[in-house]
Structure 1
Amino acid sequence: MRHILVFAKTPHAKTPYDRWLAGSGIVPVVVTTSEYAEGYSHLPHVHAFDRYDTNQLVEKTALRLAREFAVEAVFARAEADVVRAARLRELLGLPGQHTASALAFRDKVVMKDHLASGPVDVPAYRLLESAYTALDFVAEHGYPVVIKPVSESGSLGAAVIRDEAELDAYLASPWQGTSEIEVFVPGQMYHVDGLVAGGEVVFVHPFRYLNDCLSFRSNDWVANLPLTPQDPLYDRLVKAARAVLAELPTPPQTAFHAEFWITPDDRLVFCEIASRTGGGMISAMVRHAFGIDLDKEWLYAECGLPSTVDTSRYRPAGALCIPPRNGVLEQLPTAAEQPGCVREEMFTGAVGQEFHGGVKSGLFLAGYVVDGDSEEDVAANLERVAGWFSDNSRWRPAHSSGGIA
């Protein structure tokens, strides 16, 4: 029997590793969070942890299990696991992404250091070591600027600083740890998602955001919609993503999620890239639109299993993520009421639960995959489903015993 170690920071319903590997002779040894442990409890080797992201017993246990079962590979799809999985592979001499590559895809400053002299436009940036760095950078480049942690995902902790008063407010707040400062880039944001297997890009496709990835800040929804090959930006974005992958120490097997701006003066500017599948409902959208499960195919590539990627299939589909509001959720829409364009839904909360608004762009209360006859039809349906959800959910203030927020 062969074994693979899996860092599983996702529910079993989303990543059923045992079902994906059924018949392969490979058994997953799972390290997961206490929150998701029950979903994996039917498997023979499952170890769950509280405070999963920062609990260093995760690493200790993973090393012990990897040695005990002589695992052939290590799989990790979550941002929090990218570096810890890379270090484990390196320690054990296992194939896959090692630490230098993981840091290049995880640390935004290391990432941009690799790309700064390459063919894709990168905004001016600097490691934010202290308040002096921020003041020096603003003196050189002016406002607005963006300050964000070097290794968070989903726009978590990002701050747009538009003037001196906002900079003062940022500097007066508690120190956020290692961050970067960069010039603010205006424009529409796009993302490119894909899969590298055997050192080759076997799937790549660009998407546009409806609203944007900071919409969660105002508790507003964000959606993703594939571009058609006829779109004038399609080839530019694909070419840019390939160029970025070529400049970085890209591992031979990985999913990737890259973000770019198209500025008002039509420049294509790099934002960031991750060596993982996109968050939110992006993987589900790709599965419905292209018939490709990126997480499963990435797992197969790490295990040396044959690929089932078929890039010939396509049907218009989009992804919608709706963040929670501030308050207690009193009512969710029912599946029986939902518009006929909904192909898949996912809830991450329950009635009676208290929320404090959006936290990051990849986290949501309700997620939907929506289809339609064309991209324009899908875009209209995404807005329709967002409105329907708003009309059919009910909230009350956290301090109240009743009523509607």
Structure 2
Amino acid sequence: MTSTALLLLVESNTTGTGRQFARYARNLGIEPVLVTADPARYPYVTEDHLRTALTDTSSEAAVLATARELAEQARIAGVTSSSEYYVATAAAIARHLGLPGPDPDAVRACQDKSRQRRLLAAAGVPVPHSVLAQDVEGAVVATADLGHPVVLKPPRGSGSLGVRLCAGVAETADHAAELTSAVVNERGIAVQPGVLVEQYVRGTEYSVEVFGNTAVVVVRKYLGPLPEFVELGHDLPAALDSVGETRLKDCAVRSVRALGLGWGAAHVELRMDGEEIRVMEVNPRLAGGMIPELTHQALGIDLVGAQVQAALGRRPTLIAGPRRGAAIRFLTAEAPGVLADGMTTTAALSAARRVPGVVAAVLYRAPGERVVPAKDFRGRLGHVIAVTDQTSAGLAADEGRQALAAVLDTPAAEKEAVV
């Protein structure tokens, strides 16, 4: 048995924090091991020379068997995941091995959106009215009580996948048919049958990033055009008065406690319309959308590091430094088209990076690649991050995104050629 301790990472998210989990562990002298069914899914594995353990991660028993094999070679110091789809598996493996982690049953209950709604409502936490329908007919019947428009979504999922606002019966039936016909999700994991039909709640959307039972920060969200709910940007901290911020934080912490979480990170999404607050969703994981990076930039609090520390049984530091403003804006296509050539792309990235306050501008797609309007996070084409004072960060990120959007200015003939 080697003297180097291991941190097992059960799969990873494909963008954002997954790579950071592994790097943070290495900086602590812990060897990260990515337990995965497909290492090729993650380009950073090769780039960072990350050790992998090939495993059927759809099977908790298979992951546990792999963990026990690895434990014969080196001490396992922790087990965690940066992916929504595998946090419950990681929690269960940690529990089997006697290591720190959230309650696996609480995580599973939280990930079942219908059950989550019932638990929150029973605890007096305000949530949208919703009905779990098993088929198209049930979804249509549910709208008779809820009234249109309604939001349809899978009972489990992440990244706004399959979430859609339906204005009438025909749209409801069509989207319900699409959702109920799905057998597996985009990761190839079997999906829970049914469709969640939910009251549409108006208002401004926020998230509260909670760690343990501490509300770390309130984030202002910007969504794309309906009927989809694609997140196009975040401002941090949110521009709220102290009363509004406190009410959102209190509601988020109540939600976490009601669901039996309270270990590590939770990402709580809420809407506020005047005095009314509704909890839209609680996710038993770190936020996506680069929010942990924004939190680090604005407050000096490293949520990725805190999650790794917690998984290793260490007490993380959540003390904020001087407050700055941080904002991100994602680039999406408004119509089908083709990304510009390499020269235009280079110029657009340079122009975005020259905007005062912009600290990062990134494109996820290659020049000449065909693009379509985003229906979920997978349709985002790039991002711009700005860090400055709290009142200017969003404006700088907007300006940087506008500069980056030059990559979408392709000749009309090319746009018309896109099918």
TM class, shorter-chain normalised?
0.7 to 0.9
Q: Which structure: greater helix fraction?
A: 2
Greater shift, 171-180 or 364-373, is seen at 171-180
* Structure 2 gaps, min length 5: 183-192
* Secondary structure in structure 1 of the residue aligned to 2:380: coil
Do 2:208 and 2:252's aligned partners in 1 also have CA atoms closer than 8 Å?
Answer: yes
Q: Secondary structure at the match of 1:100?
A: helix
SS at match of 1:385: helix
2:216 is the alignment partner of 1:204: yes
1:180 lines up with 2:181 in the alignment: no
8 Å contact kept, 2:224–2:232: no
Cα deviations by residue, 1:36-64 (Å, 9 ceiling, x for unpaired) = 25535654632468xxxxx6477566333
Among 317, 325, 332, the residue aligned to 1:323: 332
Query: How far is 1:366 from its partner?
Result: 0.9
Q: Does the CA-based 8 Å contact 1:216-1:360 persist in structure 2?
A: no
Q: Given the alignment of the two structures, is residue 81 of structure 1 paired with residue 86 of structure 2, yes or no?
A: yes
Q: Which runs of 5+ in 1 are unaligned?
A: 50-54
Q: TM-score, normalised by structure 2?
A: 0.82
Q: 1:205 aligns to what SS in structure 2?
A: strand
Task: Supply the distance in 1 between the matched residues of 2:338 and 2:53 (Cα, whole angstroms).
Answer: 32
2-side partners of 1:341 and 1:23: how far apart?
Answer: 29
In structure 2, what is the equivalent of residue 356 of structure 1? 372
Letter in 2 for 1:311: A
2:238 paired with 1:237 = no
Q: What is the RMSD computed on CA atoms of the aligned residues?
A: 3.2
Query: Which amino acid counterpart does residue 248 of structure 1 have in structure 2?
Result: L
1:312-344 CA deviation, whole Å, 9 max, x = no partner? Answer: 331111121223563332242444322122112
Matching residue's letter, 1:129: Q
**Is contact 1:216–1:323 with CA below 8 Å preserved after alignment?**
no
- AA of the residue aligned to 1:245: V
Q: 2:312 aligns with which of 303, 312, 316?
A: 303
Q: 1:104 to 1:362 in 2, by over 3 A?
A: farther
Q: Which residue of 2 aligns with 1:101?
A: 106
CA distance, structure 1, for counterparts of residue 143 and residue 300 of structure 2: 47
How far residue 362 of structure 1 moved from its aligned partner, in angstroms, is: 7.1
Determine the C-alpha separation between the residues in 2 that align with 1:11 and 1:154.
12
Cα displacement (A) at 1:150: 1.4
Deviations 1:261-316 (A, max 9, x none): 112x5310110011112111212211111112211211111102342432233111
Q: Look up the match of 1:250.
A: 261
Quote how far apart the aligned CAs of 1:104 are.
2.5
Q: Is the 8 A contact 1:155 1:214 kept in 2?
A: no
Matched, 1:68 2:84: no
- 1:271 counterpart = 2:277: no
How big is the shift at 1:247? 0.6
Deviation at 1:23, TM superposition (A): 6.0
Change in Cα spacing, 1:383 to 1:156, as seen in structure 2 (3 Å) is same
- TM-score, reference length from structure 1: 0.84
Percent identity between matched residues is 23
Match of 1:35 among 21, 35, 41: 41
Provide, for residues 140-178 of structure 1, a one-character-per-residue CA deviation record: whole Å limited to 9, x for no partner.
222221110011112210121222232343355463443
Please give the alpha-carbon distance, in whole angstroms, between the structure 1 residues aligned to 2:87 and 2:256. Answer: 17
Counterparts of 1:83 and 1:219, CA distance in 2: 25
1:326 and 1:355 in contact (8 A); partners too: yes
Aligned equivalents of 1:3, 1:69: Cα separation in 2: 9
Distance in 2 (alpha carbons) for counterparts of 1:137 and 1:216: 19
Distance (Å, rounded) in 1 between the aligned partners of 2:66 and 2:232: 41
